Chain A
Amino acid sequence: MTSAATVSAAGLTLRYGRTAALDDVTLGLGEGVTGLLGPNGAGKTSLLRVLATAVPADRGAFTVLGHDPATAAGRREARRRLGYLPQNPGFHPEFTAFAFVDYVAILKELTDRGARHREVRRVLEAVDLTDVRGKRIKRLSGGMRQRVALAAALVGDPGVLLLDEPTVGLDPEQRMRFRELIADAGASRTVLLSTHQTEDVAMLCHRVIVMARGRVRFAGTPAELTARAAGRVWIGTQRDPGARAGWRTGLGTFRNVGDPPKGADLLEPTLEDGYLLVLDGEPAEVASV
């Protein structure tokens, strides 16, 4: 944790029966975009839901811009400063994009009609949806719906934005557009971006957290994560049995990640290589990418 942290968490633990979704998670977030990587079941969604105050942690504490959600007053203040895009955002499909974001603005206590409508216009413009503001949500594409959900999260100009896999299901062009929006959003606030896409992290994030089995396995910069694989990626004519992971490339050679044999032909590592090695020790089916 740093003194400039806008979100600070210590010892967060959340259990579902015998399964620990979060196991003693301690972290600090500052301004900018932080990527949250991890395989399915790593605890990414659980962490975001706890930080969004959607579920209470069984143990541990956290603050959002200095407000402690454990108290009623602190929770309300934290919620006023949080924007949250859930993994499966729900919509009222009969509502237009404008009406839906307007509804969320009311939930965020913007009761003055004029001020609220100006705010709805602002966030729809920010996500480039002004032209379809009058369309019913059920008639919008998946990418547009995700942008509606992002607009809803941006209502009230929150200081902390929690985004749970917002690029899942988007085609490459939509994903690129969404990355631009997230980068814009992170210019002046704290963004925690949960994702499976190491490309998202490489392109967007100034920091990255890797989780597995409810624990934080790595926290640092994308360059530091990539450096974990320095000297541990090599090319060969077959998949090396000692490699942590290996796959045939388009050129017919094999890219191996792990502990290279002597004399191996080493390659420049990528962030994904570093991620794989951080997860080393996890069950193979979980760690495979």
Chain B
Amino acid sequence: MRDDRHDGTGWHADIDDLRAYARGELRAPRLWSVDTHLVTCAICRGTLAEVSDPQTLDAGWERLDAELDAPRPGFVEGLLLRIGVADHTARLLLATPVLRASWLGAVLLVLAMTVASVYTSDSPVLFLALAPLLPLTGVALSYGPALDPTHELAVVAPLHGFRLLMTRTIAVLVASLGLNGLATLALPGYGLRALAWLVPALALTATGLALTARLGPVLAPALVSGGWVALLMVTEATTHGMLAAFTGPAQGVAAAVAVIAACVLHRMRDRFDASPVPSPFTHFARRSTS
């Protein structure tokens, strides 16, 4: 965006960028750079006035004013913008309840305690059993009124509910799987076996979301979590140990469940837009109002 005009104090915006800016045709991120530069550079503001007609110049100043009011992106938002995430998507992600430091800190604490238990018990079972539940819990809490104070505003907004759900789900999955991955690195002695939580995690999350369309954001993940614990207990009772649930064939079954659940979820996507998905607690919440 720089050209070779120089006044001894710094470089200036490219004349073609200024012309495009004046016409309202300059696109981000060059638009943001020129916006920022114009605030501090009187020479470029003068150049802009020369290449603009009055009407488009006024529109440009209005746009500049709006930019000055806009919040500066924080560290995470700036990072998302730099890797190419659209600014509106980045802002939606920042409003995801479970991406807050308090939730992520709690997950880290649970994982640290679980990893410590692996070292004391000399078995990865507890870690493998727990790790798949964390992404499911995070995704469940990111959708619904429990943790999202603006849930009702999101429900009545024209943005498709399924799109918002998927945006948040992907963000939570990336964060949760990343933390689980860090915990896995703390268990080098178990090799690839320590990664056996990954496919069950995807299967549980996809199944939980698919059932959420029918059962709501509380009952569905609760049932799936209970089912997972029950499955592990049955495995413990009927085989030589819980680790049988993490063998190759079991991983294949989990992968199949994940794919089927994802297909069911896609087919039911419009249910996330029609109305709030029913919840056992919705009834009580509604009665508290007139």
Contact = CB atoms under 8 A, between A and B. Distances in A.
Interface of A: 16-17, 19, 21, 38-46, 52-56, 72, 75-76, 79-80, 82, 84, 86-87, 89-92, 95-96, 98-99, 102-104, 106-111, 113-114, 116-118, 120-121, 133-134, 152
B276 A54 contact: yes
Contacts of A99: 71, 91
A82 B86 contact: no
26 contacts: A16-B283, A19-B287, A42-B290, A43-B290, A45-B290, A46-B286, A55-B275, A72-B273, A76-B158, A84-B153, A86-B152, A87-B289, A90-B150, A91-B149, A92-B149, A98-B69, A99-B91, A102-B71, A103-B92, A106-B91, A114-B66, A114-B67, A117-B63, A117-B66, A120-B69, A134-B71
Contact of A114 (B31, B91, B283, B287): B31
Contact of A106 (B88, B274, B275): B88
A48 B111 CA distance: 44
A104 B154 CA distance: 8
A87 B290 CA distance: 10
B87 interface: yes
B53 interface: no
B88 A133 contact: no
B78 to A, nearest CB: 14
Contact of A108 (B63, B149, B157, B289): B157
Contacts of A103: 91-92, 95, 150
Contacts of A40: 290
B159 interface: yes
A107 B290 contact: no
A55 B273 CA distance: 11
> Which residue, A40, A43, A95, has most C-beta atoms of chain B within 10 A?
A95
A102 B290 contact: no
Contacts, number: 124
B58 interface: no
Given A19-B287, A46-B289, A113 B28 contact: yes
Given A39-B290, A106-B88, A134-B69, 18 more contacts: A16-B283, A19-B287, A42-B290, A46-B286, A52-B156, A53-B155, A54-B152, A54-B155, A55-B286, A56-B274, A75-B274, A76-B158, A82-B156, A91-B150, A102-B71, A104-B157, A120-B66, A121-B66
B88 A113 contact: yes
B87 A98 contact: no
A118 B62 contact: yes
B71 A86 contact: no
Contact of B153 (A21, A44, A86, A109): A86
B258 to A, nearest CB: 28
A108 B159 contact: yes
Contact of A107 (B69, B70, B154, B275): B154
B158 A108 contact: yes
Nearest to A44: B290
B66 to A, nearest CB: 4
Given A44-B290, A45-B290, A117-B69, A89 B153 contact: yes
Contacts of B283: 16-17
A134 B70 CA distance: 8
Contacts of A98: 69-71
Contact of A55 (B86, B87, B276, B290): B276
A79 B156 contact: yes
Chain B: interface secondary structure? helix
B29 to A, nearest CB: 10
Nearest to A87: B289
> Which residue, B92, B149, B164, has most C-beta atoms of chain A within 10 A?
B149
B236 interface: no
Given A41-B290, A55-B286, A75-B274, A109 B69 contact: no
A56 B63 CA distance: 40
A108 to B, nearest CB: 6
Nearest to B145: A90
Contact of B69 (A16, A76, A133): A133
Which 7 pairs show the lowest CB-CB distances between chains A and B?
A90-B149, A107-B157, A117-B66, A45-B289, A79-B158, A106-B88, A56-B275
B3 interface: no
A102 B91 contact: yes
A152 B67 CA distance: 19
Contacts of A45: 289-290
Nearest to A83: B156
Contacts of B69: 98, 117, 120-121, 133-134
Given A55-B286, A113-B87, A121 B153 contact: no
Contacts of B290: 38-46
A84 B158 CA distance: 12
Contacts of B276: 54-55
Interface string B38-68: 0000000000000000000000001101110
A92 B275 contact: no
A99 B289 CA distance: 29
